[in-house]
Structure 1
């Protein structure tokens, strides 16, 4: 086959021109769509950071009050978001009944923003004529002085309507919750032990929601161990709220959950027991007459259902 030199030269020249055209096109700015710009400006996805206790739940902090039949407001409640947490003596500073440390899932519920006040309990008593166990028995155990004749109305130390009601037993607390349910059309009850600790921890794993040291003027406990200067109970709201917006989950007065007390955690902490059960109950939160070790979030105390004392009050849950 005969190949002409002119043909080869012309093809080479044409190829050079094509290369130049392509180079010119790549040197020009490229017009892109807005979506293309958006995509190109997005940061590169990063690997998810390890989940901490506080990352596993998002505080709701929605405060509300149900209306009673007479149009007045019920106690302030706070929605607690659903979540999963470690329950028990995470810091290993407590007793054997705070073991084993285990994971618990909790559904969304509402918790009393404060412990039930003297004023709130008085409204229930005035509306129903209810008499507490201490009034019927003629005595309530008190830390100082004679227990005879003591009850929620008469403690031997000053209480205003804004102080937490005390000298109420488990059945008194249930009666108040049932009345509130009837008045509002909602379901009020004592929290399970798991609900109580979940709400009190508010996403933390430390001894107290603010850290492992009791600090000063953060809670009301025995003498001046907490630097609070209250001799007995403190008015509600005297200290900062935890991250869920709940007050006095550490000290002031302890309260009954609805669960049966067991010497080791075995699942009963997520259940309520019958009002007629004679099984032991737990007391949670610690009180004004307890040392710091006993007001830790994980701390538990065994009690009978009819235990009445000037350091025991109540805090309700609502579904």
Structure 2
């Protein structure tokens, strides 16, 4: 599903009301820097679920994350996204996928809106406040992070693919689980089907760091542009803070991680995924954010 754009880049510096409803600073989990083995140990024999045929493109390699960061304990919720959408509006409407915000045909487990721009009113569908937001595009997630950065006065952004996998594995507290927090997928993953959809954030067991839903519920956008060959770089040495940012301005495929309620083949901590283009806004795609330092308060 493609999206429709309703916003333009602007800065927000005045905080009004509850900027991140349902969240406190305790929900930002410290992920301490470290070195880990990133990638699929079975890449030569296990076809990537992206196309069900490619093998050998996701080799295990050493990655060093040189700085601590804070990752949100939960995926961004419907009520949190609606707070952003209620202020991030403009009369101009665009259809280019690269600038899309969300799918105008939002589904039954996401949000709804009424009125006309720039006075649209967004609200969660009944009972869906604490469900992970879906039907939003990669640019929407990026713009949410830019807006929240301006509101809070600290850098808020999507995680790199390496940061995401390191956190999903449990960081320096990792116990080597296949899924994020367990070897039993049912303990940690919301996995239903396309008719049942998502579950409220945090309903399953957290991983070693106390982070929820990194296997299942919704796929999560990363900062990286997707490239089959990216893992092949520097296999004989430790890669420091990798991110594939070379084509971020293009309307190309972006990395998604963690699987979703209807994508069980992506649930392992090392499994890569990607969307089709930046304007894709399916009912399975959401995000969580990271901070490089914490604000004074929320």
Provide the TM-score with structure 1 as the length reference.
0.65
Shift of 1:245: 1.2
Q: Aligned residue for 2:62?
A: 103
Higher Cα Rg: structure 1 or 2?
A: 1
The change in CA–CA distance for 1:314 and 1:209 in structure 2 (over 3 A counts) is closer
Residues 137/172 of structure 1: CA separation in 2 closer, same or farther (3 Å cut): closer
CA contact (8 A) 2:257 2:266 kept: no
Shift, 1:89, TM fit = 1.1
Structure 2 residue aligned with 1:120, among 38, 56, 80?
Answer: 80
What's the offset of the Cα at 1:271?
1.5
Displacement of 1:158 in angstroms is 6.3
**Is 1:176 aligned to residue 144 of structure 2?**
yes
Between Structure 1 and Structure 2, the one with more helix by share is 1
Larger RCO: 1 or 2 (CA < 8 Å, sep 6+)? 2
Answering whether residue 284 of structure 2 is matched by residue 311 of structure 1, we say yes
CA distance change for structure 1 residues 86 and 73 in 2, over 3 Å: closer, same or farther?
Answer: same
Deviation at 1:119, TM superposition (A): 0.8
Which is strand-richer, 1 or 2? 2
**Map of 1:149 onto structure 2:** 105
Displacement of 1:154 in angstroms is 4.4
Question: Mind listing any 5+ residue stretches in structure 1 that lack a counterpart?
Answer: 1-66, 141-147, 225-229
| Cα distance in 1, alignment partners of residues 138 and 32 from structure 2 | 26
After TM superposition, give the deviation of residue 175 of structure 1 in Å. 0.5
Structure 1 residues 87 and 220: alpha-carbon distance in aligned structure 2, compared to 1, 3 A threshold = same
Q: Secondary structure at the match of 1:174?
A: helix
Give ranges in structure 2 of 5+ residues lacking alignment: 1-12, 49-54, 114-124, 234-238, 293-298
Question: What is the TM-score with the length of structure 2 in the denominator?
Answer: 0.69
For the Cα contact (< 8 Å) 2:100–2:279, is it kept in 1? no
Q: What is the CA–CA distance in structure 1 between the aligned matches of 2:94 and 2:78, rounded to whole Å?
A: 13
Q: Which residue of 1 aligns with 2:29?
A: 78
- Give the secondary-structure state (helix, strand or coil) at the position aligned to 1:99: coil
Select the residue among 178, 203, 212 that pairs with 1:247: 212
C-alpha deviation, 1:243, in angstroms: 0.9
